[in-house]
């Protein structure tokens, strides 16, 4: 067993594809767990960065742990990225973790190149996707969400390519300026793909959701990625299950609080004008 942040044990056997054994994080604290996703922090949105920094300094300090389920950044071209806005976010996370607050981060489709250098800069712990979290009597699976969008075949092909170690090694050898240019081009391509793809294709597939819950033996799945916050209740194998979707932070924050008694609350965090 590998020791994770905040005294949470990380059991081995993880894979980032649904249908394989999951890393398990048992949580023993009586304090709540907080989940956010899809902050897409970038220098073009200083209000979002300011809101996140205030969140780390205030609300998040009351948690047993903070889980960021992917797309913390609008883009991340490597751990050597010293762009001022992203560096400010890293420094805010370092202050948060240095004060003794555990922060776990999954990679999203925009920041899949987060690596060991990011962990050293921030004190955060990178997690596989998906991961199973045990909180009290509740077992939940947390994922960015994009592995579950199985109907979007072109995206899944792209995801497999950029997640391969060989592709990442070649990309990270490029000069930083070149990587930034390529990231800008990729974002434009992503917007075009989103604009021409039907909505149901880019949403999670129900059969993939049910398979993940069944294999992980969980009753709750939490994810982001789709930017469609909501609560979905259904039955799998005679057991009631719930899927909670976190919203993005473009115009306001989105937060899931999970208490030690297994109650939860999904809320919006208004942004000061």
In a 13 Å sphere around the CA of 7, the CA atoms on its Cβ side amount to: 7
Kindly report the pTM of this predicted structure.
Answer: 0.88
Longest C-alpha distance within the chain, in Å? 54
Domain count for the chain, please give it: 1
The H or E element spanning position 212 is helix 206-216
Phi first, then psi: give them for residue 248, nearest 5 degrees. -90, 175
Residue tagged 């800008």 (tokens): 184
Condensed to tens digits (0 to 9), the pLDDT of residues 124-165 reads 999 999 999 987 778 899 999 999 999 999 889 999 999 999
Residue-range definition of the domain harbouring residue 142: 2-269
The two tokens of residue 143 are 């994922």
Q: pLDDT value at position 89?
A: 98
Return the CATH number at 112: 3.60.21.10
Q: For residue 18, what pLDDT is reported?
A: 42
* 218 phi and psi angles, rounded to 5 deg: -115, 155
* H or E element that contains 142: strand 138-143
Structure tokens at 40: 């897409």
Give 154's Cβ-side CA count (13 Å radius): 10
pLDDT (0 to 100) of residue 178: 96
Q: Tens place of pLDDT for every residue, the chain, 273 residues?
A: 122 333 344 443 344 434 445 777 777 677 899 999 999 999 999 999 999 999 999 999 999 999 999 999 999 999 999 999 999 999 999 999 999 999 999 999 999 999 999 999 999 999 999 999 987 778 899 999 999 999 999 889 999 999 999 999 999 999 999 999 999 888 776 655 554 444 545 689 999 999 999 999 999 999 999 999 999 999 999 999 999 999 999 999 999 999 878 889 999 999 987
> What is the structure's pLDDT at 194?
53
237 CB-side CA count, 13 A: 11
pLDDT of the residue at 16? 44
For 269, the enclosing helix (H) or strand (E) is strand 264-269
Separation CA 135–CA 258 (nearest Å): 8
CA dihedral 67, 71, 76, 81 (to 10 degrees): -40
- Ranges of beta strands (E only) in 28-112 are 33-36, 65-69, 103-106
Integer Cα distance of 14 and 77 in angstroms: 24
What digits encode the pLDDT tens for the residues 7-31? 344 443 344 434 445 777 777 677 8
Token code pair at residue 196? 């021409």
Structure tokens at 119: 């962990």
Whose tokens are 């129900």? That residue is: 206
Q: In angstroms, how far is CA 67 from the centroid of its own chain? A: 7
Position 202 scores a pLDDT of 66
């Amino acid at each position: 067993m590998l020791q994770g942040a905040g005294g949470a044990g990380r059991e081995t056997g993880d894979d980032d594809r649904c249908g394989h054994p999951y890393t398990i994080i048992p949580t023993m604290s009586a304090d709540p767990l907080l989940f956010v996703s899809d902050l897409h922090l970038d220098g073009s949105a200083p209000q979002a960065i300011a809101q996140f920094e205030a969140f780390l300094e205030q609300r998040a300090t009351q948690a047993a742990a903070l889980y960021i389920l992917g797309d913390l950044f609008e883009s991340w071209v490597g751990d050597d990225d010293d762009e001022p806005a992203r560096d400010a976010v890293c420094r805010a996370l370092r202050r948060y973790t240095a004060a003794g607050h555990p922060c776990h981060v999954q990679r999203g489709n925009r920041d899949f190149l987060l690596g060991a250098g990011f962990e050293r800069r921030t004190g955060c712990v990178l997690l596989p996707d998906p991961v199973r979290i045990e909180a009290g009597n509740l077992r939940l699976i947390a994922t960015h969400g994009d592995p579950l969008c199985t109907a979007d075949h072109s995206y899944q092909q792209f995801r497999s390519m950029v997640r391969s170690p060989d592709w990442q090694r070649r990309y990270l050898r490029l000069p930083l300026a070149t990587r930034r240019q390529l990231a800008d081009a990729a974002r434009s391509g992503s917007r075009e793909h989103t604009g021409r793809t039907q909505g149901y294709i880019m949403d999670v597939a129900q059969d993939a959701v049910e398979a993940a819950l069944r294999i992980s033996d969980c009753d709750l799945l939490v994810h982001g990625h789709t930017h469609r916050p909501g609560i979905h209740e259904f039955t799998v194998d005679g057991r009631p299950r719930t899927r909670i979707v976190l919203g993005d932070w473009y115009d306001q924050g989105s937060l899931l609080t999970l208490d030690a008694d297994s109650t939860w609350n999904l809320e919006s965090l208004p942004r000061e004008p």
